[in-house]
Amino acid sequence: MDTSTLQGVFMTPPSSPLPTEETRKSPALAISDLNYYVQYRSAPWWRGACFRKAHVKHVLNHVNLALPAGSLTALVGSSGSGKTSLLDVIAFRAAGDVTGRIMYNGLRCTSEMMRHQCSYVIQADRLLPNLSVEAVIAQMGLRVVADSRIGGAVVRGISGGEKRRVTIAIQLLQDPDILLLDEPTTGLDSFTARHLVASLQQLARQGKLVVVSIHQPRSDIARLIDHIVLLSQGQVVFNGPSTQLVPYFTELGYPCPRYTNPLDTYMDVMGIDRRDGERMLASSQRVQELIEAYQESELLKSTKKTVAREMSGPVGHVSPRNGATSPGWGRIFSTVLNRLTLNLYRDKMAFINRFILLPAFVPFILIFLGRLQNNQRSIQDRLGLLYQSVQVPPYLPALRNHFYREGLDGLYSSATFLLAYTIHIVPFVAVASVLFSAFLYWVTGMSADADKFAIHIAVVFVLHLVGELLTVAMMGVFRNPQLANTTTALIFTASGLVASGFLRASQNMVSILQLLSWVSVHKYSSEILVVNEFHQLNLTCNDAIQGVPCVPNGDVFLDANYPGAVDQVQRNIEILIAFLGGHILVAIVCFKVVGLRILQ
């Protein structure tokens, strides 16, 4: 659009017809005297919570708003003005302390009500990289990419703009009454950004309350906005229909020069110039005057009157949308399971990781160890191989932040997700365990007995699964895949060292480590594997060193080093099964207790 007509745009109604009285029911969202405070600590994190000074920041300061449904509202302000915080507070996702009241259609909002009636599209697109876009929403103009992969770091997929529209489309599948979007146009080219905002305007016209935060809307986007909230340093500087923007500021002595975008002009007026102390003081004073002028304005008086009318309403409850019933648990579970499985099947790196890397290690073992003998030295070789078997590396689970997001959106519970997650990795872990054990047995010539081979696979399988579940649990705690993976690798390595008895006899360790080994999965899995390999194994004495008693068979070795292990195989298998169940529970608890507390 030509900038010469910009001022006209802000004085005349936008292109799409404004909502009818039926859809407007003004105001849909009323916010009364909202304050938002966050606590933060200065000084480096390693000083610990007790030694760092706690500060409280007043992020949103006495905000009163009345936002009409059927209109596209934009929160506009410079970086740090409080746009994201305001959206977080409206969505009941804010991490700090909130005072004030939010009403929606005359009902007092609660977090449960907003989880059901409001969808919040945050800045980053969190999509599963290997899923295709199926019937998603012609409304979002995604038909041409309906069969494309989303794409990620490895596989190129749909474009950034298309990803953004898919993110919005997914939120729209919930048919929300309120749609909040944080910086939806950031990173998009001008055509895509305009197309996206036009789609949002169309959605608003259907009676939804659509609120977007925008740093600095370009002229063609500004034209589509019906209602503007200008924020500076957490305070409202203007709140009203876009048609009133220029008249309001002109009256305050800030006319908009011809041929310029009014939002650009007023963002400059509201900006704090930090180049030097003098300019900073002058611009801060100007902003303060603007804030005070708004406090005295007719605009605020009328907003407060409207808001006050709404405030007497009762507490809102969750109502089924448009008569729709939510899907049952079985449907949700199978959808989550299908999505996870499909994503994993299409993930080339996961395939390489799980099916190729571990078996690919076997040729190295062949060079390093060769075929197993039955002499005295083979005892050490066998122990080395068994240590290798119990030290299977736990995989980085394919969990991503979008699952936290979906959990926050109330789409499914942590238990549902973790159950689906565990089930979806079972076939992969099983195949990887079979491949690993088969290669190991075939290359080295371990005890060739079908039962023993099956037990070896089962133990490797349980260790893989426990490792993966432990990583999932750590992700519930840390919310960081790398940290979770490193922590699990450390725990697993330490546990294997201490509890397997393959590198150091347990009896020689300090008592605290001996005690700790009782809670290690490696103690029980190692005992099963060592019995598996050494029980009924005949050994030759032809390489025995003079003066060192020969170990004539594996059972003598077991009696000396793993006393009672032969009789405890059944018990150890039961303990391993309990470990599996226990780790699923630990993962659920980590997500539910620790995870949700972080997110609230």
Ligand X SMILES: Nc1ncnc2c1ncn2[C@@H]1O[C@H](COP(=O)(O)OP(=O)(O)OP(=O)(O)O)[C@@H](O)[C@H]1O
Beta 72-76 vs 209-214: how paired, if at all? parallel
Kindly tell me which residue out of 14, 83, 98, 403 binds ligand X, with binding defined by CB under 6 A: 83
Give the nearest distance from C-beta 484 to ligand X in angstroms. 23
Binding of ligand X by 438 (CB under 6 A):
no
Sign of the C-alpha dihedral computed for residues 523, 529, 532 and 538 taken in this order? negative
Provide CB contacts within 8 A for 537, sequence distance 6+: 374, 447, 553, 554, 555
Q: Which residues pair with 66 in a beta bridge?
A: 30
Residues 6+ apart with CB under 8 A from 570: none
**Shortest reach from residue 89's CB to ligand X, in Å:** 9
Over its C-alpha atoms, the chain yields an Rg (Å, rounded) of 32
DSSP one-letter code for 408: H
The reply on whether position 434 binds ligand X by CB under 6 A is no
Per-residue mark of binding to ligand X, 181-200 (x: CB under 6 A): --------------------
Least separation, in Å, of the C-beta of 475 and ligand X? 21
Shortest distance, position 276 Cβ to ligand X, whole Å: 21
Choice between 177 and 182, CB closer to ligand X: 182
Please state the closest distance from residue 91 (CB atom) to ligand X, in A. Answer: 13
175: left (phi over 0), alpha (psi -120 to 50) or beta: left
Q: How far is the CB of 221 from ligand X (least distance, A)?
A: 16
Q: Taking CB under 6 A as the criterion, which residues in 381-410 touch ligand X?
A: none
- Residue 391's nearest CA partner among 436, 435, 353 is 436
Least distance in angstroms from the C-beta of 116 to ligand X: 24
Q: Are 152 and 129 in contact (CB under 8 A)?
A: yes
Residue of 4, 12, 40, 598 that binds ligand X (CB under 6 A): 40
Question: Does position 59 bind ligand X by CB under 6 A?
Answer: yes
Candidate list 42, 79, 312, 508; residue touching ligand X; CB under 6 A: 79
> What type of residue sits at position 308?
A
Which of these segments, 78-86, 403-411, 414-422, 592-600, binds ligand X (CB under 6 A)?
A: 78-86
Does residue 38 interact with ligand X by CB under 6 A?
A: yes
**CB neighbour list of residue 405: distance below 8 Å, 6 or more residues apart:** 122, 126
Contact call for residue 235 and ligand X (CB under 6 A):
no
Binder among 27, 77, 476, 554 for ligand X (CB under 6 A): 77
CA distance 134 to 50: 51
CA dihedral 496→499→501→502, nearest 10 degrees, is -10
The smaller minimum CB distance to ligand X, of residues 79 and 507, is found at 79
If one asks whether residue 57 binds ligand X (CB under 6 A), the answer comes out as yes
Instruction: For the segment 90-109, give every residue that binds ligand X (CB under 6 A).
Output: 95-96
For residue 232, state whether it binds ligand X (rule: CB under 6 A): no
Please, which residue, 85 or 389, has the CB nearer to ligand X? 85
Q: Smallest distance, Å, CB 77 to ligand X?
A: 5
Q: How many residues belong to the site for ligand X (CB under 6 A)?
A: 15
Distance CA 117, CA 322 (A): 11
Question: Interface with ligand X by CB under 6 A: which range of 80-88, 240-248, 320-328, 532-540?
Answer: 80-88
CB of 245 to ligand X, least distance (A): 19
Q: Which of 108, 126, 149, 215 binds ligand X (CB under 6 A)?
A: 215
List the alpha helices (DSSP H) in 61-175: 83-90, 111-117, 160-172
The span from the CA of 76 to the CA of 66, in Å, is: 16
Identify which of residues 89 and 551 has a Cβ nearer to ligand X in the complex.
89
In this structure, what are the phi and psi dihedrals at residue 382, rounded to the nearest 5 degrees?
A: -65, -40
What part of residues 263-322 is at the interface with ligand X (CB under 6 A)?
A: none
Binds ligand X by CB under 6 A, chosen from 7, 84, 117, 119 = 84
Q: Does 81 bind ligand X (CB under 6 A)?
A: yes
The two tokens of residue 364 are: 């190295």
Q: DSSP string spanning 491-546? A: HHHHHHHHHS-SSS-GGGS-HHHHHHHTT-HHHHHHHHHHHHHHTT-B---TTPPT
By CB under 6 A, is residue 227 in contact with ligand X? no
Stretch that binds ligand X, among 43-51, 74-82, 124-132, 472-480 (CB under 6 A): 74-82
Residue 520 in contact with residue 576, Cβ under 8 Å?
no
CB-based contact 24:69 (threshold 8 Å): yes
**Contact with ligand X (CB under 6 A): which of 73, 85, 235, 242?**
85
- Sites of contact with ligand X (CB under 6 A): 38, 40, 57, 59, 77, 79-85, 95-96, 215
